Amino acid sequence: MALGKDYVAQECSIARALEVIGERWTLLVVRDAFYGIRRYSDFLGHLGLPRAVLATRLQALERAGVLEKRRYQDSPPRDEYVLTDSGIALWPILRSLSVWGTAHVAGTKRLRVFTHADCGTELGSYGECPACSTAVPPQDVEMLPGEGLDPEPSDPVSRALLRPRRLLQPLEADRV
Amino acid sequence: MALGKDYVAQECSIARALEVIGERWTLLVVRDAFYGIRRYSDFLGHLGLPRAVLATRLQALERAGVLEKRRYQDSPPRDEYVLTDSGIALWPILRSLSVWGTAHVAGTKRLRVFTHADCGTELGSYGECPACSTAVPPQDVEMLPGEGLDPEPSDPVSRALLRPRRLLQPLEADRV
DNA sequence: CAGCGTAGGTTCATTCATTGAACTCAAATC
DNA sequence: GATTTGAGTTCAATGAATGAACCTACGCTG
C-alpha cells in the first residue's frame, strides 16, 4: 500500500496494522499459514489467486516480519514460508473475524470448528477455552470440519484440510 | 468487491467477513463510527479519503447491515450513519487489530488507551477487563489519548477526539 | 429577493492495482 | 536429450482509487 494512498495520516494502531495485513488476499494467506500451508504452490492451489499477487504478498509479509522464508532443501533449492511469532500473534484477529463472519454475514454456516486440543471444548469468541478459562495458543487449537463444508473438494490442499488437525502443523505431514 | 475477483471460492467465514469489511478504508470507517463519528462530513474530514470512496463504503456498509442510515433532521434533510448491533459486534476485531498494531508494527507508540469505564482498568488483549474479568461492551469502554498522539491536530474531529470519551457516544455532544 | 454558504453527494480523467495468461529458469526425472 | 515441476517474472486488459470539479437543495445574510 503506497504513499498518499496509504493510511499514513492516520495516527492509529489499527491503521498501522491494516498497512501490513489490510491488502486484498493478505489475511487469507495468513489464515492458510495457520492451517499449515507453507509452500508457494499450496497457497496458489488453495487460494486461487494470481501468481503475481501471491509473490507480492509473500514478500511483503516477509518484510513485515509476519512470515519467515526458509530453505527446506538445497537441491533443487526450495523455500517455505512459516509464521513468525509476530505472525502467530495475529491469531486473535483471525478468530474474531471468523466468529463475526459466521454470526453476521448472511448464509454463513459453521464451516470449521475450533476446539481446545487438551480438553475438546469448542473455543469462545476470543479464542479462549470456556472450560479451562485460559487463552488457547494456536498450537493447542484443533480444527475440525463443520457442516457447511464441501465434502469432496477438487484441490488436494482442501482435501487434506478436511481431516481434523492442529493449527500450524505443516501440511506435508498428512498430504493425501 | 465484485465477482471472480471476490473470495467466493473460499469456503471460509473469514473470507465472508472480509467480503464485507475487507476493502480499503472500510474498517477505518467502522473505527470512526465507534469513536462516535456519524456524519458524512466528519468521516470525510477525519479520514481524508475521496468523497466518492466514502459514499461507496457507507452504502456498502448500510447494505451489509453494519451501519444504519437515519434521518436526524428534515429541513434540510440530513442523515447520520450509526452502527447496528451487527456493527457493534465488530469491536473485538478492531480491538485485536489495535493490540497487534501497537505490539508488532515497528514504531507504533500507544496512541490511544482503552479502559473499562466502571473501574478504570486498562482493557486486555481481547477487550476484556482484567480486574472484573468480563468482556467489556464498547458502550462501557472509555477512550483516552496516549503518549504518541499529536496534541494539536488540525482537523476539528481529531481535536474533539483528544478528550476522554466513551465509545459510541455521538461526537456532536462535545464538538469544540 | 439575490447572492453566498453548506451538507451531502456525482461525475470525470488520471493513476494505480488486480487479473489471467504466457513466459523464464534451474534442477530433477524419464 | 526431452519433459516436468516448483517458483517465480512479464505483460496486456480490466477494474478500483484518487483528487478535483461539478451539482443540488436548503438556509442565511444584507
Series of mean pLDDT values for 10-residue runs along chain B (176 residues): 56 93 96 97 95 97 97 88 98 96 89 96 91 94 94 90 95 63
Q: What type of residue is B126? A: Y
* Nearest chain B alpha carbon to A128: B126
What mean pLDDT value characterizes chain A? Answer: 91
Measured in angstroms, the CA of B6 and the nearest CA of chain A are apart by 10
Q: Which residue from B14, B89, B149 is facing A104, i.e. has the nearest CB? A: B89
Q: B146 with B112: CB under 8 angstroms? A: yes
Which domains are seen in chain A, by residue range?
24-86 (1.10.10.10), 88-174 (no CATH)
Give the pLDDT confidence of A89-139 residue by residue, as tens digits: 999 999 999 999 999 998 878 999 999 999 999 999 888 999 998 899 999
Q: How much is the pLDDT for A5?
A: 59
For residue A24, say whether its CB is under 7 Å from any atom of strand C: yes
Which SS3 state, helix, strand or coil, does residue A71 take?
Answer: strand
Q: Measured from the CB, is B4 under 7 Å from any atom of strand C?
A: yes
Using CB atoms within 10 A of its CB, is residue A3 exposed (0-12), middle (13-18) or buried (19+)?
exposed
Q: How far is the CA of B77 from the C1' of C6 (A)?
A: 12
Number of A–B residue contacts, CB under 8 Å: 153
The C-alpha cell at A60 is: 511483503
Indicate yes or no: CB of A22 within 8 angstroms of CB of B17: no
Contact A94 B14 (CB under 8 A): yes
Residues in chain A: 176
pLDDT score of B172: 74
Structure confidence at residue B129 (pLDDT): 94
Interface probe for A, chosen from B6, B13, B19, B161 (most Cβ of A below 10 Å), is B13
DSSP assignments along A4-69, one per residue: SSSSTT---HHHHHHHHH-STTHHHHHHHHHTT--SHHHHHHHH---HHHHHHHHHHHHHTTSEEE
Q: How many whole angstroms separate alpha carbon A92 and alpha carbon A137?
A: 10
Closest C1' nucleotide to A72's CA: D6
Which residue's C-alpha is at the least distance from the C1' of D6? A41
pLDDT of residue B157: 93
Contact B92 A11 (CB under 8 A): no
Does residue A55 reach within 7 angstroms of strand C, measured from its CB? no
Q: What backbone torsions phi and psi does residue B87 show, to the nearest 5 degrees?
A: -70, -40
Nearest-by-Cβ selection for A96 from B15, B92, B103 = B92
A3: pLDDT strictly greater than 70: no
